[in-house]
Amino acid sequence: MFVLSLVKQTVRVPAEKFNRDVDQALSEELNLKFANKVVLDVGLCIALWDIIKRGESFILPGDSGHHTKVEFRYVVFRPFMEQVLVGRIKNCDKESVQVTLGFFDDIYIPAENLQKNSRFDETEHAWVWEYESEDGNHDLFMDTGEEIRFKVVAEDFTDTTPSGPSNETHDPSLDPSDNKKMAYRITASINESGLGLLSWWAS
């Protein structure tokens, strides 16, 4: 679920931090820049692990801060394909079940990836698995807040960097979802035995 990613970056340290230890100042700036941010095709950055190597610091004309080339490792959240994780249901709608890990919410289980014979209950606003057993059918509700075991089946990265100013006139009627793109989205599945709510498989 967590991996160490090797990164090379030129880091700017502001003048007010010149009295700090160089590595401490660099660590602070790296965490300010990367912590809780999604890096395209890398994953969700969690925290700096260590600084492997740093070059000489230099100051650019007209800039009071110093710049240093740094090679470092960062802890990144990026589960591998087919990995099984446990989270909690955050939301349900007709298209999917949204799952959260607490620090990451963009995990979705599409309707087609739910257990067979599942249906969406409009009244309860929850998905229901119609479980067939020897003594009849049972409705097993997937309520918000319940712990759920799921398998990662796909991931999607989207470049959400602003495209910059445009000469085109802004049309407020355009789809507002254009401004709500997910930088990193995980698609999951529970349509296998042992997956789904933990309470379903408790002895």
| Amino acid letter, residue 134 | E
Residue length of the chain: 203
pTM of this prediction? 0.84
2-77 maps to which CATH number? 3.30.1490.120
Q: Which residues of the chain have pLDDT under 70?
A: 163-180, 203
Counting Cβ atoms within 10 Å, is residue 61 exposed (0-12), middle (13-18) or buried (19+)?
Answer: exposed
- Domain locations along the chain: 2-77, 84-163+170-200
> What are 7-17's pLDDT values in tens digits?
999 999 998 98
Give the whole-angstrom CA distance, residue 73 versus residue 78: 15
> What are 38-83's pLDDT values in tens digits?
999 999 999 999 999 999 888 888 888 889 999 999 999 999 999 9
- Could you please state the CATH topology (level 3) that the domain comprising 84-163+170-200 is classified under: OB fold (Dihydrolipoamide Acetyltransferase, E2P) (2.40.50)
Of the chain, the end-to-end C-alpha distance in Å amounts to: 27
Same fold yes or no, 2-77 and 84-163+170-200: no
